[in-house]
Amino acid sequence: MNPVPARPSNPTARPAFTLLELMVAMALSSLVMLMVATTIATAVRASGAAAVDVQQDRREDRGRALLDAQMSWIELLPDSREPRVFTGTPTFVEFGTVVSARRPHERVPVRARYAVLPAEADGGLNAEPGVRIVYMEWPNERFVNPAARDRADLAVDALQERLDAPRVAVSTPMAPSMTAVIVDHCASAQVSYLFVGPGGDRMWDVNWIDPRSLPRAVRVSWTTQEGVEGEWIVPVVATF
């Protein structure tokens, strides 16, 4: 019997991967994919947070600009330096002005309020801790067009308002015609008022108790939930 000739060896043949090697490779691939996905998710969250910060900064800038303009156009009583309305507490400042947030380039009498309010509930389930600074505005219907009234009517109005009860904490029962969140995500916020003391010293107080005069300036300060402090100091300048 002739022996079976040996099969020639293939010099190009390579050994195949074992099952263990395949499992290790798959595990490493999964780990790499998980790291990539985590990196992408972190970048997306950071981008979203940056966009929210930019939007918040813009709202704060617009709120500061509006308060500055309104404090420069405080509504006064006819032929007087007394404000028609000015109420100041630690949680809100309310005053009459002729600068409306809806039409800032026109002279429209409105009642403006900057208030520190608790954060609203989220869908009725989760309440966000802290407070927010909210702007509210009401139309001042009685004085929409004072130029159309004669001086006698204006004098009667001025006399009547001087004889009325003390004008403190004037609240408008009707719903505001405009509401906007100016500063959000605050741990705390407060309004204070600058006045000159008997000795000429300038001091801040959290209450403005004289409704017939105006403070030198209004300060709105807050601390965010991240511990960042913010502040507006706006001078009060009655220009007419």
Q: State the amino acid at position 190 in one-letter form.
A: Q
> For 28-38, what is the mean pLDDT?
82
Token readout for 34 is 């998980």
**Among 12-16, 42-46, 118-122, which is the least confidently predicted range?**
12-16
Q: Is 198 exposed, middle or buried (0-12, 13-18, 19+ CB in 10 A)?
A: exposed
Q: Give the lowest-confidence range in 31-40, 145-154, 174-183.
A: 145-154
**Percent above pLDDT 90 for the chain:** 33
| DSSP assignment letter at 74 | B
Residue range 198-234, pLDDT digits in tens: 888 899 999 998 878 899 999 999 999 889 899 999 9
pLDDT bracket for residue 15 (50, 70, 90): low
Min mean pLDDT across 50-54, 90-94, 110-114 is at 50-54
In angstroms, what CA-CA distances link 216 with 8, 119, 123, 161, 200?
104, 30, 41, 23, 13
- Taking the model in full, what pTM does it have? 0.64
Per-residue pLDDT, 105: 82
**Helix, strand and coil in the chain, % to nearest 5:** 30, 30, 40
pLDDT confidence tier of residue 116, bands split at 50, 70 and 90: very high
Are 211 and 83 within 8 A, CB to CB? Answer: yes
| Whole-number Å distance between alpha carbons of 207 and 30 | 62
In the 8-state DSSP scheme, what is residue 3? P
Model confidence at 28, pLDDT cuts 50, 70, 90, reads: confident
